[in-house]
Amino acid sequence: MYKFLFLLSLIIPVAADYLVIDKGIYKVWYSSELEQPTKVSYLVDNRPNIVDREGMNFYKEANIHTSDDHDYYNNEWDKGHMAPAIHFSDSVENLKATYSYVNSALQHMSLNRGAWRDLEIAVRGWAKSEALFVENNILFKDESFVLKSGATVPSGFEKNIRFKESGERKCYFFPNKETDRSWNEFEKDCTKIDSLNNKEKCSEHELFFIEPSNGFKTNESKFKVRFGSKNILISPAGVEVNKADPCYVSGHHHLIINSSYNVEDNKDVPIPFARNILHFGGGQTEAELSLQPGKYTLQLVLGDYQHKPVNPVGSGQHYGPIVSNVIEIEIQ
């Protein structure tokens, strides 16, 4: 006999997960915990430069926790455009899109106004003869500095460029610190860039419980659950993510209580809303739950923007849903 579950509260995502935001002219992977983007990708072609950026100010997105003016006040950090305004000044709408705080990273002023800016000018010049796909990876370390205002300062920046027609690639790495070096001194061998060549990360996708652990017992009716994932971009329901990067899948968590729904048998239809099937459609990775005394099983299932079990890229029609191991807990 199934016990019934009562959801008390949901908590916003933890640092390990990212919100994927498609701004039309660029796509950004954003960490609200870091208050920084972690990746921004875009296509550069020969757009006309006809709109003046004078009077443009950075703005916050509704319902997304980002950095703000306080993080950039009276310090050495510039609001570094990751999708540069110089590439998208063909219309007021496009230029304004680059001034979102989801597109702003804490970048040392000498880098932002020197080598990084000069490389962006070079990219614009190359795009006059051939379109380029650019991916900026914003890098962090465990010891990355956190400002008193709450935002984490990146340790460095990768800019990886692929010429769309010729297939030529150019790769750069910039430490996020004061520099007077030329942009071309930061060029790296693309075959040695981990983010481009680490195929191991594409080998599997995982969902798992950070807490509670299997066999968890407690006398308290309220307890926390935390969800972990590997090679998965956690994105809200209703947000369709472009699967241009074959290494990742995206979706949001569903928590199945006491095997109350067989996802394998229903993998081609949306996961239903039910008392023992909890949807974390906001991209949440934590929750506080309350259960009546008894024994329970818990399992996570990844659902896409339509709540259907995710079909990983390249898996074809015979895919298996992405699920966690089943764990057993007891409320005494």
Looking at 168, 197, 226, which one is the last position of a domain? 197
Higher pLDDT, 291 or 58: 58
As a whole number of angstroms, the distance between CA 81 and CA 73 comes to 17
Query: What tens digit of pLDDT does each residue of 249-294 get?
Result: 889 999 999 988 888 888 889 999 888 999 998 889 888 888 899 9
Looking at 142, 171, 197, which one is the last position of a domain? 197
Domain, as residue range, for 78: 34-197
Average pLDDT estimate for 145-165: 95
Query: What tens digit of pLDDT does each residue of 23-42 get?
Result: 989 989 899 889 999 999 99
Query: What tens digit of pLDDT does each residue of 94-127 get?
Result: 999 999 999 999 999 999 999 999 999 999 999 9
What's the Cα-to-Cα distance from 132 to each of 23, 64, 89, 126, 298, rounded to whole Å?
18, 29, 17, 8, 46
Do both 183 and 60 map to the same domain?
yes
Q: What is the DSSP pairing of strand 327-331 with strand 206-211? A: unpaired
Q: 12: pLDDT confidence band, cut at 50, 70 and 90?
A: very low
**What pLDDT does 246 receive?**
55
Nearest CA-CA partner of 18 in 251, 233, 211: 233
**Domain contains 168:** yes
Do both 158 and 217 map to the same domain?
no
Do both 312 and 205 map to the same domain?
yes
Question: Are 16 and 285 contacting, i.e. CB atoms less than 8 angstroms apart?
Answer: yes
**What pLDDT does 195 receive?**
58
Nearest CA-CA partner of 232 in 303, 131, 161: 303
Task: Give, rounded to a whole angstrom, the gap between the first and last alpha carbons of the chain.
Answer: 16
Average pLDDT estimate for 176-204: 77
CATH number of domain containing 283: 2.60.40.10
> For the chain, how many structural domains are there in total?
2
- Chain-wide mean pLDDT for the chain? 86
Asked whether the predicted pLDDT for residue 68 surpasses 70, the reply is yes
Peptide bond just before 48 cis, omega within 30 deg: no
Do both 51 and 90 map to the same domain?
yes
CATH number of domain containing 101: 3.40.570.10
Do both 271 and 159 map to the same domain?
no
**Domain contains 28:** no
**Domain contains 38:** yes
- What DSSP designation does 272 have? P
**Domain contains 190:** yes
Question: Are 281 and 237 contacting, i.e. CB atoms less than 8 angstroms apart?
Answer: yes
State pTM to two decimals.
0.59
Do both 140 and 217 map to the same domain?
no
